Structure 1
Amino acid sequence: MEHNLRETILSAFERFMMMPENEANLRLAADKWSIQEIVGHMIDSASNNHARIVKAQSTDDLIFEGYDQVAWVENQNYAGAQWHDLIILWRQYNLHIDYIVGQIPDKVLTKERSNHNLDKIAWKPVPADQPTTLEYFINDYIKHLKHHLGQIEEIISNT
């Protein structure tokens, strides 16, 4: 399993801590999320995927509810939140996910599941007719998180 979540989180957190709060509201375009809103979205993703990862350990499927990501970011007004509060919540939530992933037995991680909806909710979808694993789902979460960290770096380098 490509499990380097902890290192990714701690490294990004160090970068975030050095960022002035006014820089956290930078965005590439008016219709794009700011850095702060991206971090908020990653908190929402952590929240939803934490529940999914825990539930998946007790089921034979990988069927999960989706959520309206844009509405979640807007409804929580991440743009108006305190930057340091957001990044601490983001760090701690993901460190907890890292911890729980480390507790999952290999046989649960690698168990093939034919019944899933990762064709609809995964960042990199799995066709509905192909089996997948909880390990794939967790790695997909980590790749999704790294994608958003890359977006943040792009905003910083283009402003």
Structure 2
Amino acid sequence: MKYTPKDGFSYYFELAKGDTLQSIFSVLPTLEFLQSIDEEKAKFRYKPNKWSIKQIVGHITDHERIKMFRAFQLSRNEKIQLWGYDQEFLVNNSRFNELSMQLLLADFLNVRKASVSFIDTLSKDQLQRKGWARQYKITLEEFLRSIIGHERHHINIIREKYCL
């Protein structure tokens, strides 16, 4: 891989390139992997200041929820900045560690179903609409791909750092 997380969108695009949007938004690989993690392992942190697996799952869901709203705005030609958000603040003010892994995965699946439903309504022209995300001018399709790249990044971290 020629990019790292510090490269931002380029890194996430690389993780989600290739297949169609419908294909990369298929929830099965991620869901099957996350369902294999039991409740005890889901509380694990590989370092004291790092998120638990439950917090990562909640963060992935929150990220998609936030980014899909911005994708909706861009699809409707609203001239917006596809701004970031304070992920630490949102995770620190969540209840992810108190919730069951089953509930977190149900929420993840519900958000993904809504995302796929929205993507299915988009035309080719809408997917080519452009917006600014930091210093990058990107298409709606690229923005959507970055959501899955972000998810894959975190799943890779769980696989590598959480010894699963």
Structure-2-length-normalised TM-score: 0.79
Q: Residue 61 in 1 paired to residue 107 in 2? A: no
Tell me the residue number matched to 1:71: 89
- Deviation of 1:98 (Å): 2.0
The partner residue of 1:149 within 148, 151, 155 is 155
Instruction: Summarize the Cα distance change of 1:21–1:135 in structure 2 as closer, same or farther, 3 Å threshold.
Output: same
Runs of 5+ unmatched residues, structure 2: 1-17
Deviations 1:70-129 (A, max 9, x none): 111111121221110001111221122122112210011013x3x52x12xxxxx62xxx
The partner residue of 1:46 within 52, 64, 87 is 64
Tell me the residue number matched to 1:88: 106
Runs of 5+ unmatched residues, structure 1: 120-124
Instruction: Summarize the Cα distance change of 1:141–1:62 in structure 2 as closer, same or farther, 3 Å threshold.
Output: farther
**Contact 2:25–2:148 at 8 Å: present in 1 too?**
no
SS at match of 2:77: coil
RMSD after superposition: 1.9
Distance across 1 between alignment mates of 2:24 and 2:109: 11
Tell me the residue number matched to 2:45: 27
Distance across 1 between alignment mates of 2:78 and 2:93: 33
SS at match of 1:63: coil
User: Which structure dedicates a bigger proportion of its chain to strand?
Assistant: 2
- Once structures 1 and 2 are overlaid, which stretch shifts more, 97-106 or 31-40? 97-106
Aligned length: 145
- Deviation of 1:144 (Å): 0.8
SS at match of 2:49: coil
- Deviation of 1:137 (Å): 0.7
Distance across 1 between alignment mates of 2:70 and 2:90: 17
- Deviation of 1:138 (Å): 0.7
Q: Which amino acid aligns with 2:145?
A: N
Distance across 2 between alignment mates of 1:148 and 1:92: 19
- Once structures 1 and 2 are overlaid, which stretch shifts more, 55-64 or 73-82? 55-64
Distance across 2 between alignment mates of 1:155 and 1:20: 16
Tell me the residue number matched to 1:122: none
Q: Which amino acid aligns with 2:142?
A: Y
Structure-1-length-normalised TM-score: 0.81
Distance across 2 between alignment mates of 1:86 and 1:106: 33
Distance across 1 between alignment mates of 2:118 and 2:24: 12
Identity %: 23
Within-5 A mapping of 1:83-122: 83-111=101-129, 113=130, 116=132, 118-119=133-134
